Structure formats: C-alpha cells, structure tokens
Structure 1
C-alpha cells in the first residue's frame, strides 16, 4: 500500500509538479485545479483515505506493542514484588571495625 501511494505521488510529482502533488495529497488544493486531472484525482483520494489509514495503522501498532510490553509480567509476580518491598527492613549489619 505504501508502495502504491509512493508511486502515485511520484507520478503526480512529474506530471503536475512536486508542490502541486503535495498540496493535492494533503487536501490543500483541489484536484480540479491542476492539470492533468486524471492523475490528480486518485492522488487526492489516496490522501483522503489511505494516508489516515496508514498513520492509524502505525499508531495502533506502536500502542499495541507498548501495551504488550507492560503486560509481560504476571500479576502474581507483581504482587510478590510489592509484598517484598512493603516488608520492614531487616536488622542493620554489624559494625566491623573490631578495635
């Protein structure tokens, strides 16, 4: 999908100009305002539908990875560690100078 979007952008860059291709892709310029329009309309639709889908998929992947990283420990392990940390400290070590 990224390859198709990139190829469409490159094609439009050569045919309508790089600035126009960017502004059509981002929705700043209507594809009806550039020439030739036959290649600008698919680019505009790609910018409207595919680009948000790609960004959403990437964000979803990153968020899922972060959630999985935080769920890597079992609840019993977490509770055992909390119990261990909440225990009172042991006796102080003996002073060792001996003189």
Structure 2
C-alpha cells in the first residue's frame, strides 16, 4: 500500500493536473467522477486515461487506505496477551474490598 499505492496515487494526481491545465479544472473533475464522458471534452487523448483512473484506480486507492487503517486498528487491539486480558478480567470481577475501619470507636 505505502509503496505501490503512492505510485498509483501520484499517477492519478498527475493525470488530474494535466487534464486540469488542458481541459479545465471543472471538466477534469467531471471526467474523473464520471459526470462527463471523456469523448465530450476537447483533448480526448488525455481525458480517457483520467476517466479510467477515476473508474478503477481511485476506488482501489480508497479501498486500500480503508483496509490499511482497519488492519492497523485490529492489530493494535490484538497486541495484548490472552493471559494479561484474563488476569485483568479476574481482577475486575473480584468483589470490592471492605472499607477501612475508623480507629476512633466513638
């Protein structure tokens, strides 16, 4: 994710920048999101790769990022040993200790 994903993200960003300068930023956004067909813009040669990136690469990048974050969270919760967790549960299940007695007797 961190190595190949960065390359794919950089290529997608480069395509978006190229199209933004050539066909306009609004048209580039419309092509990448699928609102406008790449055949409807002036520079079709660069709009088609942008459209494909918007259709395939960008959802893959978002899915990979979500999967990475979820995996990191799961691994963070599995970092504790089972024995430690059981010991903590036993400690929490014990009845509370009696309060200390007052020494005055009055």
TM-score, normalised relative to structure 1: 0.93
Per-residue deviation at 1:90? 1.8
1:50 matched residue in structure 2: 57
Which of structures 1 and 2 has the larger relative contact order (alpha carbons within 8 angstroms, sep 6+)?
A: 2
Match of 1:78 among 81, 85, 95: 85
Cross-structure match for 1:30: 37
Aligned residues, how many? 99
Root-mean-square deviation over aligned CA pairs: 1.4
Question: For residue 11 of structure 1, what is the aligned residue in structure 2?
Answer: 18
Structure 1: distance between partners of 2:63 and 2:76:
20
Gaps of at least 5 residues in structure 2 are: 1-7
Q: Normalising by structure 2, what TM-score?
A: 0.87
Structure 1 unmatched ranges of 5 or more: none
